[in-house]
């Protein structure tokens, strides 16, 4: 059937186009249920200029049997165009030709088809709806009869239409005529209407249509209103007995479903005597009266009538009247007809919201509750258009209500609306002086975050949240941290690295317990946002102190968080290679040999760690003692710097030994915090944590007497260094304001340093010197070699020779002399106790240089003695 109706509509549209008419609408589906009930053919249509749904009443005189109705169709167009009332069918446009008439109205449905659908309602709901509809028709008839001084003449079910809001609209103006027109259509052509004799009043049946001239304008319409009440409540019943001569009054047994309260005035409407008949205006007044006796107040007590009256006068009502109306709407919201609630109540309440005030807080929840039944395509025009305007309201009650109920409509907002219209007003809540507004604003962000653009999400919003972390209210700070944890995965890559760790670290230091717990949970929730290196270097170090928090709740959560991050590091570490060194790496001369078989295992206890460290220290001392006791085989090996690979006369290829996998003892140096330490693979560190050997007895029993003098000079220099072991350089950058150094104001006393006999002294202050790569490398002559350089030893190409560096001494005057033979003359010895720090350092360097020269001379002497026969 729908297919056939569509074909019919298409055929009609084609004929209209061929006729040359420029219609302001396009025809859609034909209302088949209305076919044959009137002189019109009803179509669902669409307005061409804006696509608004409309209804189109078509009359075609060329159809069989309709030629005589053409004057009626033209009268309906003329009268509908001039009679305007809220309860009259809303006229939009019309087209008239010699044979056709088109009337375009608001989209409506015939009352007859709606009555069939209303059978599923409960008896009380249906009765309320029917009485409310009759109330609207009574108002329309009273308007036509009194102010317009006209007679409708066609009041029946087929002349009533239902708008999208469920309101009853009066139509059927085919014979509407003014009482002052003696040649009116109702008198001459009224009998041509379909079923005209069935609905004719007793005086018309007796004296014809001309008898209406002697009666009032409301006589015929009042009788038709009575018949309308009968067929509305009893659609399947025949005409009442009073409609036939001798017109007896209706009996109570014939009441059917007509309410008892309306039955007395119903009988008066059907009075066969037009002079004693109740007019439509009197019927309306009786229904609205509450103290007129029996049979009164049936309209006034109807809840739908009350709702409409309250909504129409809402702007001028008192606060108590508004409160009563809203309470009634809330109690009966579920029982209101869906179309009535969506298109009659909601627009009125939404319009009232724009005025703000104390009632706005109560109206908004009701609007959202009733809006659940609105069609998705109409939600924006019916509800959202009003809610968006409310975000600009300065009333805090209105703004609070909008934020509290945001979950109910946030999913219906589009991204453009949020960015352009809502965010500008929403962000003012972050700086509101009322804490409740600030907190509600924070809670609302997560509902709208997926509709923010990149600028808002990664810039504007984070600026507000940074301020919220310093809010005086603990709950606001906590909710801010929770929000950041939920927003983390959606932030940009660079934003995550810059924001998350500092923000969560700040929360971990919050005095509020639950804020600290929220910080830990936020870190756990955003674990996928951090790189592996960032977890190891930033997240875990900044989170570790919470494991000894004063609150057990925080400690428990801290251990869970720590375990989560450590597990991730373990998984990553399992995929890493055992070492990053290549085969051709340079090895440290004097490295530790492999120790006991069990030394390669992981230490799992504090006692095991202490034993391992002690083993490393003993191995280092033993290695150095052995190297000092072994006679030097070649002068070239003696003259080479200690950082260079040793030579071997027997097997040069074996002179390069693989370094021990364990750290050397001299590398165990406790450096000041925040001082960068530059490590050079293949060379030993010159800064010694402990330097043993100052008081060690030389291994060789035949050592020359000059060594004793050198040992004494060295001991004197060491004594001077004990007074200022850290040198004169500052370890702290006083301009580093961004770092908190307060924890380092009480540093432990420096440990006295004991220098080894054959190693240069390097002050820890040199740690702050420029990078090693920026210094000039020194040749063997810088270490005090003889005039005849040692023979160059060939080193495999894949092995890179280590390059040793020395820090400039005060005697260098800021320059490094690349020529070893160019030496400064020894300065006169001074008393160490009376020297300044700079003089002590210079004296120490001078003595070391003299000692180096004497050692070289002793070696030459020894070679000379050994070469004699």
Distance CA 325, CA 307 (A): 7
Q: Give the count of alpha carbons within 13 A of 846, CB side only.
A: 17
Closest CA to 175 of 190, 165, 163, 157: 190
Sheet of 160-162: strands edge to edge?
A: 109-110, 160-162, 168-170
Q: Which residues contact 176 (CB under 8 A, 6 or more apart)?
A: 75, 76, 79, 83, 144, 150, 151, 152, 153, 154, 185, 186
Percent of the chain with pLDDT over 90: 44
Q: What pLDDT, on a 0 to 100 scale, did the predictor assign at position 712?
A: 54
Closest CA to 196 of 215, 222, 224, 177: 224
- Name the most confidently modeled range: 14-23, 133-142, 667-676: 133-142
pLDDT at 6 over 70: no
Instruction: Out of 170-184, 248-262, 292-306, 538-552, pick the least confident.
Output: 292-306
Task: Note the pLDDT tens digit of each residue in 32-61.
Answer: 989 989 999 999 999 999 899 999 999 999
CA angle 278, 279, 283 (to 5 degrees): 75
Query: How large is the angle between the packed helices 513-525 and 552-573, nearest 10 degrees?
Result: 20
Q: What pLDDT, on a 0 to 100 scale, did the predictor assign at position 342?
A: 87
Q: Does residue 844 contact residue 717 with C-beta atoms inside 8 Å?
A: yes
Q: What pLDDT, on a 0 to 100 scale, did the predictor assign at position 232?
A: 94
Q: Which has the higher per-residue pLDDT, 847 or 689?
A: 847
Q: What pLDDT, on a 0 to 100 scale, did the predictor assign at position 291?
A: 65
Q: Which has the higher per-residue pLDDT, 9 or 855?
A: 855
Distance CA 683, CA 666 (A): 12
In angstroms, how far apart are the furthest CA atoms of the chain? 171
Check whether the bond before 229 is cis (ω within 30° of 0): no
Q: Scanning the structure block, which residue is given the tokens 């700070």?
A: 477
Residue 586: phi and psi, rounded to 5, are -80, 135
Q: Scanning the structure block, which residue is given the tokens 């004497």?
A: 854
Q: For 338-356, what is the mean pLDDT? A: 83
Q: Which DSSP symbol is given to 649?
A: S
The first and second tokens of residue 297, run together, are: 């107040």
pLDDT at 436 over 70: yes
Q: Scanning the structure block, which residue is given the tokens 């932030």?
A: 491
Closest CA to 769 of 715, 822, 727: 727
Q: For 304-326, what is the mean pLDDT? A: 89
Q: Which has the higher per-residue pLDDT, 791 or 173?
A: 173
The first and second tokens of residue 671, run together, are: 């450096």
Measure Cα distances from 463 to 62, 311, 450, 507 in Å.
Answer: 74, 44, 18, 16
Number of H helices, E strands in the chain: 32, 10
pLDDT at 635 over 90: no
Q: What pLDDT, on a 0 to 100 scale, did the predictor assign at position 356?
A: 62
Beta strands in 141-211 (DSSP E): 150-151, 160-162, 168-170, 177-178
H or E element, residue 848: helix 837-867
Q: Which has the higher per-residue pLDDT, 867 or 107?
A: 107
Q: Scanning the structure block, which residue is given the tokens 């007509």?
A: 258
Q: Does residue 25 contact residue 56 with C-beta atoms inside 8 Å?
A: yes
Q: What pLDDT, on a 0 to 100 scale, did the predictor assign at position 698?
A: 42
H or E element, residue 53: strand 53-60
Residue 543: phi and psi, rounded to 5, are -105, -15
The pLDDT confidence band at residue 867, using thresholds 50, 70 and 90, is: low
Domains 2-107 and 441-574 share a fold: no
**Predicted structure pTM score:** 0.60
Fold of 122-181+199-301: Transferase(Phosphotransferase); domain 1 (1.10.510)
The pLDDT confidence band at residue 335, using thresholds 50, 70 and 90, is: confident
The first and second tokens of residue 78, run together, are: 């003329």
* CATH number for the domain whose boundaries are 441-574: 1.25.10.10
Measure Cα distances from 515 to 475, 481, 499, 636 in Å.
Answer: 8, 7, 17, 69
Residue ranges of the domains in the chain? Answer: 2-107, 122-181+199-301, 315-412, 441-574, 630-643+659-675+682-726+750-768+781-788+835-869
Residue 622 CB neighbours (<10 A) = 12
Residue 399 CB neighbours (<10 A) = 25
Closest CA to 561 of 526, 509, 513, 533: 526
Task: Note the pLDDT tens digit of each residue in 517-550.
Answer: 999 999 999 999 999 999 999 999 999 999 999 9
Given 3.30.1330.60, 3.30.200.20, 3.90.1860.10, 3.30.300.30, which CATH number is that of 2-107?
Answer: 3.30.200.20
Q: For 278-284, what is the mean pLDDT? A: 93
pLDDT at 684 over 50: no
Distance CA 183, CA 176 (A): 12
Closest CA to 763 of 671, 693, 836: 671
The first and second tokens of residue 399, run together, are: 């703004």
Q: What pLDDT, on a 0 to 100 scale, did the predictor assign at position 443?
A: 96
Q: What pLDDT, on a 0 to 100 scale, did the predictor assign at position 357?
A: 62
Distance CA 614, CA 807 (A): 31
- What does the DSSP assignment read for 237-284? S---GGGSTT-PPPPGGG-TTS-GGGHHHHHHHT-SSTTTSPPHHHHH
Closest CA to 153 of 179, 131, 130, 132: 179
Residue 284: phi and psi, rounded to 5, are -65, -45
Distance CA 156, CA 228 (A): 6
Which residues in 227-237 are b (16+ Cβ under 10 Å) and which e? bbbbbbbebee
Q: Which residues contact 196 (CB under 8 A, 6 or more apart)?
A: 190
* First and final C-alpha spacing in the chain: 134
Q: What is the mean pLDDT of the chain?
A: 75
What is the C-alpha radius of gyration for the chain, rounded to an integer number of angstroms? Answer: 52
Q: Is 67 exposed, middle or buried (0-12, 13-18, 19+ CB in 10 A)?
A: exposed
The first and second tokens of residue 679, run together, are: 């490590």
Q: Does residue 521 contact residue 485 with C-beta atoms inside 8 Å?
A: yes
Q: Scanning the structure block, which residue is given the tokens 């939600």?
A: 379
Q: Does residue 215 contact residue 203 with C-beta atoms inside 8 Å?
A: yes
Residue 736 CB neighbours (<10 A) = 10
Q: For 754-783, what is the mean pLDDT? A: 36
Task: Note the pLDDT tens digit of each residue in 472-502.
Answer: 999 999 999 999 999 999 999 999 999 999 9
Distance CA 87, CA 305 (A): 14
Q: What pLDDT, on a 0 to 100 scale, did the predictor assign at position 439?
A: 96
Closest CA to 416 of 383, 464, 384: 384
Which residues in 122-136 are b (16+ Cβ under 10 Å) and which e? eeebbbbbbbbbbbb
pLDDT at 75 over 90: yes
The first and second tokens of residue 653, run together, are: 């290829």
pLDDT at 766 over 70: no
Closest CA to 547 of 516, 572, 522: 516
Q: Which has the higher per-residue pLDDT, 419 or 721?
A: 419
pLDDT at 594 over 60: no
pLDDT at 821 over 70: no
3-state secondary structure 388-435: HHHCCCCCHHHHHHHHHCHHHCHHHCCHHHHHHHHHHHHHHHHHCCCH
Residue 150: phi and psi, rounded to 5, are -135, 165
Residue 243 CB neighbours (<10 A) = 21
Closest CA to 168 of 132, 127, 126: 132
Task: Note the pLDDT tens digit of each residue in 545-592.
Answer: 999 999 999 999 999 999 999 999 999 999 999 888 665 554 444 444
Sheet of 25-30: strands edge to edge?
A: 25-30, 41-47, 53-60, 100-106, 91-96
Q: What pLDDT, on a 0 to 100 scale, did the predictor assign at position 488?
A: 94
Closest CA to 724 of 842, 836, 843: 836
């Amino acid at each position: 059937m729908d297919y056939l109706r569509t074909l019919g509509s298409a055929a009609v549209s084609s004929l209209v186009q061929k006729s040359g008419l420029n219609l302001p609408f396009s025809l859609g589906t034909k209302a088949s249920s209305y076919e044959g009930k009137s002189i019109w053919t009803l179509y669902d249509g669409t307005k061409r200029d804006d696509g608004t749904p409309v209804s189109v009443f078509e009359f075609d005189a060329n159809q069989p049997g309709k030629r005589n109705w053409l004057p009626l169709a033209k009268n309906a167009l003329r009268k509908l165009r001039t009679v305007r009332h809220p309860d009259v069918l809303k006229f939009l446009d019309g087209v008239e030709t010699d044979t056709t008439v088109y009337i375009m109205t608001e989209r409506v449905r015939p009352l007859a088809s709606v009555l069939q659908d209303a059978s599923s309602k409960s008896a009380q709901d249906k009765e309320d709806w029917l009485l409310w509809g009759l109330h609207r028709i009574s108002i329309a008839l009273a308007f036509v009869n009194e102010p317009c001084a006209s007679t409708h003449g066609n009041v029946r079910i087929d002349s009533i239409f239902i708008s999208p809001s469920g309101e009853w609209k009066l139509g059927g103006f085919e014979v509407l005529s003014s009482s002052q027109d003696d040649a009116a259509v109702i008198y001459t052509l009224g009998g041509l209407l379909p079923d005209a004799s069935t609905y004719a009043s007793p005086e018309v049946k007796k004296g014809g249509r001309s008898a209406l001239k002697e009666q009032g304008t409301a006589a015929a319409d009042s009788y038709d209103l009575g018949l309308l009440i009968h067929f509305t409540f009893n659609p399947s019943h025949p005409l009442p007995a009073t409609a036939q001569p001798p017109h007896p009054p209706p009996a109570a047994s014939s009441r059917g479903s007509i309410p008892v309260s309306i039955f007395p005035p119903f009988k008066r409407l059907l009075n066969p005597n037009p002079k004693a008949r109740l007019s439509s205006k009197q019927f309306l007044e009786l229904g609205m009266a509450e103290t007129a006796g029996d049979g009164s107040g049936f309209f006034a007590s109807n809840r739908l009538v009350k709702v409409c009256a309250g909504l129409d006068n809402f702007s001028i009502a008192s606060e108590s009247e508004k409160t009563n109306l809203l309470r009634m709407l809330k109690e009966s919201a579920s029982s209101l007809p869906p179309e009535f609630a969506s298109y009659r109540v909601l627009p009125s309440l939404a319009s009232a919201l724009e005025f703000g005030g104390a009632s706005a807080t109560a109206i908004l929840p009701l609007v959202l509750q009733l809006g659940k039944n609105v069609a998705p395509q109409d939600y924006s025009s019916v509800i959202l258009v009003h809610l968006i305007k409310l975000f600009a309201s300065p009333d805090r009650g209105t703004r609070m209500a909008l934020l509290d109920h945001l979950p109910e409509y946030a999913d219906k907002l589009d991204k453009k609306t949020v960015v352009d219209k809502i965010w500008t007003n929403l962000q003012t809540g972050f700086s509101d002086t009322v804490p409740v507004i600030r907190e509600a604003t924070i809670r609302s962000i997560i509902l709208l975050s997926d509709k923010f653009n990149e600028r808002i999400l990664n810039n504007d919003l984070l600026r507000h949240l940074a301020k919220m972390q310093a809010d005086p209210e603990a709950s606001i700070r906590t909710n801010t941290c929770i929000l950041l944890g939920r927003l983390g995965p959606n932030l940009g890559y660079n934003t995550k690295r810059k924001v998350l760790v500092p923000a969560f670290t700040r929360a971990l230091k919050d005095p509020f317990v639950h804020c600290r717990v929220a910080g830990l949970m936020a870190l756990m929730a955003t674990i996928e946002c951090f790189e592996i290196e960032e977890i190891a270097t930033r997240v875990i170090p900044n989170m570790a102190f919470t494991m000894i928090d004063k609150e057990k709740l925080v400690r428990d959560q801290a251990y869970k968080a720590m375990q989560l991050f450590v597990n991730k590091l373990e998984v990553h570490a399992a995929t890493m290679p055992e070492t990053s060194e290549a085969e051709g790496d340079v090895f440290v001369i004097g490295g530790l040999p492999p120790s006991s078989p069990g030394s390669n295992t992981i230490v799992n206890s504090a006692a095991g760690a202490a034993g391992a460290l002690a083993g490393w220290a003993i191995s280092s001392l033993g290695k150095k003692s052995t190297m000092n006791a072994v006679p030097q085989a070649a002068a070239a090996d003696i003259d080479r710097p200690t950082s260079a690979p040793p030579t071997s006369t027997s097997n040069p290829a074996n002179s390069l030994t693989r370094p021990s996998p364990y750290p050397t003892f001299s590398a165990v140096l406790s450096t000041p915090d925040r001082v960068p330490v530059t490590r050079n693979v293949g060379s030993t560190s010159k800064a010694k944590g402990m330097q043993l050997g100052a008081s060690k007895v030389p291994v060789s029993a035949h050592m020359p007497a000059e060594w004793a003098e050198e040992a004494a000079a060295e001991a004197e220099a060491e004594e001077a260094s004990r007074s200022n072991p850290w040198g004169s350089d500052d370890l702290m950058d006083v301009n580093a304001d961004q770092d908190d150094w307060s924890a380092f104001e009480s540093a432990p006393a420096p440990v006295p340093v004991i220098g080894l006999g054959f190693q240069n002294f390097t002050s820890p202050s040199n740690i702050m010197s420029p990078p090693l790569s920026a210094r000039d490398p020194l040749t063997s002559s810088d270490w005090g070699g003889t005039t005849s350089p040692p023979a160059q030893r060939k080193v495999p190409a894949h092995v890179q020779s280590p390059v040793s560096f020395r820090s400039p001494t005060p005697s260098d005057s800021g320059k490094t002399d690349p020529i070893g033979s160019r030496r400064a003359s020894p300065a006169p010895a001074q008393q160490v106790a009376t020297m300044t720090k700079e003089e002590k350092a210079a004296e120490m360097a001078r003595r070391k240089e003299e000692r180096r020269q004497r050692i070289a001379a002793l070696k030459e002497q020894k070679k000379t003695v050994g070469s004699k026969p």
